[in-house]
Amino acid sequence: MRISSFGVIGWLLVYVCATAHGAGFPPGRYSTVLQGDEWELRFDASDLRVFKNGQQVVASDYQVDGDQIRFDNDRGIYACIGEVSAGSYRWYFDQSGLHFVNIDDQCPGRISVLTANPWRIKGGATARIMGSDPIFD
């Protein structure tokens, strides 16, 4: 398996800056592939948009407190609604990407999408950690 220098340096910058400077969750774009479908998370300052194969399927509010993130007020065709509308996770970065660990979520769809694979930086997150604003499409 070939690993690019840019990828290693990018993740090292994300990890070092997030831990050494106490930075919060970095807004940006993250992607992963699940069962042949490309999923993308687009975080801005307080909103999350979730895309499956380029189509937006969920919009959600989120709040971060240290290494925990809470999703709530889902909207969209794959939204978690009713008693399962809110969910809490622990988030962390390592060399393979951004990870979510279920703390308190009862929505099966959100659990499977967020926790199945690491999420790779697609754009914006590294710039945000380094102190400049990310660019969103």
Average pLDDT by consecutive 10-residue portion of the chain (137 residues)?
45 38 73 96 93 97 95 94 92 92 96 96 56 35
Estimate to the nearest angstrom the gap between the alpha carbon of 16 and the chain centroid: 18
Res 21: pLDDT? 30
| Cβ proximity of 6 and 85 under 8 Å | no
Strand-pair category, 120-123 with 28-34: antiparallel
φ and ψ at residue 116, rounded to 5 degrees: -65, -40
d(CA 60, CA 34): 20
Res 83: pLDDT? 83
CATH number belonging to domain 5-129: 2.40.128
